[in-house]
Amino acid sequence: MSIRTYFLGDAEKLDVKVGVIGFPGWGNVGGEILDKLVRVLDAKAIAHIISYYFPDVMIADDEGFSSLPSLNAYVTRAVRPELLLITSKLPVDILPSFAYHQLLEGVVRFAKTLGCKLLVSVEGVGGHEDRAFVIGSSKKLVDEFVMKTGLSPLRLSRLPGYSGILVSLSRLLKMDAVGIIQAMSNPTPNQDVNAELFRKLLTLLIS
């Protein structure tokens, strides 16, 4: 695979059972919610996942610290068992299709090596109305998340995005996965919509 993982510490000491994934995209749903989870749960960076197909650019923060485009993995000990969070500063769908799939498969395999039993993907997609849906790697999981969140299952749909790929790859790799997909008619971030979905997800994760 054309991806590399660079650990920042000793991953063998982690006790991770659930991973949450979200990237910038439509409405910045995934990116904004994951950034907020990292802050609220005081998560610490544990690894960078780099694809050789990311743009050849450098990213600098407000202190002049530079980094390569990457997926960033964090772990929070604010909840037990520890929670894995994976996000990025760049949308992943800028990659060529084959590299996009390789990267997402690498994410699933990375989470699995840390002991994750469940992946939860959060994403915004274009839609005719502002409404959130659930997809899953099994009917049992979908029913469970529908009951816990009050969201509707997504039926008979074809849609772009990383959540469907992550859930499908997880099933092939014998891992449970759920996608929480926020349909939005406007690609501009909606703070009220994102905040409501964040509250639902946070309640779900710490309950």
**Dihedral pair phi/psi, residue 203, rounded to 5°:** -60, -40
Could you give the C-alpha distances from 127 to 149, 154, 181, 196, in angstroms and in order?
20, 12, 11, 18
Quote the strand ranges of the chain, DSSP E. 3-7, 16-21, 44-51, 59-60, 66-67, 71-76, 82-88, 118-126, 131-136, 152-153, 176-184
Task: Identify the pLDDT of residue 156.
Answer: 64
The model's confidence at residue 1, banded by pLDDT at 50, 70 and 90, is: low
Tell me the per-residue pLDDT of 64-110, one tens digit each, with 9 for 90 and over.
778 888 999 999 988 888 999 999 988 998 888 899 999 999 999 99
In the predicted structure, residue 18 carries a pLDDT above the cut 90: yes
**pLDDT tens digits for 115-150?**
999 999 999 998 888 889 999 999 999 999 999 988
Q: Return the amino acid letter for 13.
A: K
Residue 3: pLDDT over 80:
yes
Q: Which amino acid is at 26?
A: W
Q: What per-residue confidence (pLDDT) applies to 106?
A: 95
| More confidently predicted of 34 and 55 | 34
**Top-confidence residue, 74 or 53:** 74
In Å, what is the CA distance from 21 to each residue of 75, 84, 118, 194?
Answer: 12, 8, 11, 15
Query: Which helix (H) or strand (E) segment is 84 a member of?
Result: strand 82-88
Q: Reply yes or no on whether the pLDDT at 14 is more than 90.
A: no
Q: 19 or 69, which is more confident?
A: 19
The residues near 188 (Cβ < 8 Å, ≥ 6 apart) are 27
Q: What is the pLDDT of residues 153-189, one digit of tens each?
A: 988 677 788 999 999 999 999 999 999 999 999 999 9
Q: What pLDDT score does 63 carry?
A: 80
Confidence category of residue 32, pLDDT binned at 50, 70, 90: very high
CATH code reported for the domain at 3-206:
3.40.50.10900
Q: Is the pLDDT of residue 12 over 70?
A: no
